[in-house]
Amino acid sequence: MSYIEKNLLEVNKKIDEAARASNRKTDEIKLIAVTKTYGADLINEAIDCGVTDIGENRVQEIMEKYDKVNPVRWHLIGHLQKNKVKYIIDKVELIHSVDSVELAVEIDKKAKKIDKIQKILLEVNVSGEESKFGIEPTNCIDVCREISLLENVKIMGLMTVAPFTDDEELLLGVFSGLKGLAEKISQENIKNVSMEELSMGMTNDFPLAIEKGATMVRVGTGIFGKRDYTK
């Protein structure tokens, strides 16, 4: 058994355990294998082992790998610049990292051109760290209302990146903060806005995110091992 296969078994087991522990169904939680810095060969190996969804955080990497990777759903999970939307609009299942109305307007425009309704998540800076992208929680409802008027994008839920820490209380606070925000937005009953997806949790913290309601976990290191950014 390859290490990728072994790691995937381990990650899926943890997802299953975390789901059971909080009385949730395992199939409510989708594993997004984060493939940034890894080449097409390793990605294809993961796909052979059952991975159906992969996450990349740079447009450039998606473009370099797209033709070499076997059929799979692509997720953009990193910061997206408006002038790069055109390169990925025909390639991605879900954009997790929409952090402004202006970006959503650009996505709408490019999606319209290819007759697509692009599913998106709003990235929220729940922790308030200055280094992080994302909408301020207090602005989220207004942003949802504005984006909801666009015909070729559909908000499916929220995403956050938690601080890199092993402080469990802090992490649980961030994850329940995102969940609470999604519930609040749901109650507004905004047309064309769904809050069914919560993308939160990475290698370091995904069991805690599942405990607080994650429907998508983004796991890289836990599957592929430590990344080498020098390549």
Question: Which positions touch ligand PLP (CB under 6 A)?
Answer: 34, 36, 57, 77-78, 161, 202-204, 218-222
Closest separation in Å from C-beta 230 to ligand PLP? 16
Q: Which is nearer to ligand PLP, 152 or 199 (CB)?
A: 199
**Based on CB atoms, which residue is closest to ligand PLP, 56 or 106?**
56
Q: Is the Cβ–Cβ distance between 171 and 162 less than 8 Å?
A: yes
Q: Which is nearer to ligand PLP, 5 or 61 (CB)?
A: 61
Q: Which residue is nearest to ligand PLP (CB)?
A: 220
**CB 5 → ligand PLP: shortest distance, Å?**
18
Calpha distance 56→22 (Å, rounded):
29
Both tokens assigned to 44? 């294809």
Cα(30)–Cα(197) distance, rounded to whole angstroms? 10
Radius of gyration over every alpha carbon of the chain, rounded to an integer in angstroms: 17
CB of 35 to ligand PLP, least distance (A): 9
* Among candidate residues 9, 7, 70, the one with its CA nearest the CA of residue 44: 70
Q: Which is nearer to ligand PLP, 104 or 161 (CB)?
A: 161
**C-beta of 89: minimal distance to ligand PLP in Å?**
19
Q: Are 56 and 78 in contact (CB under 8 A)?
A: yes
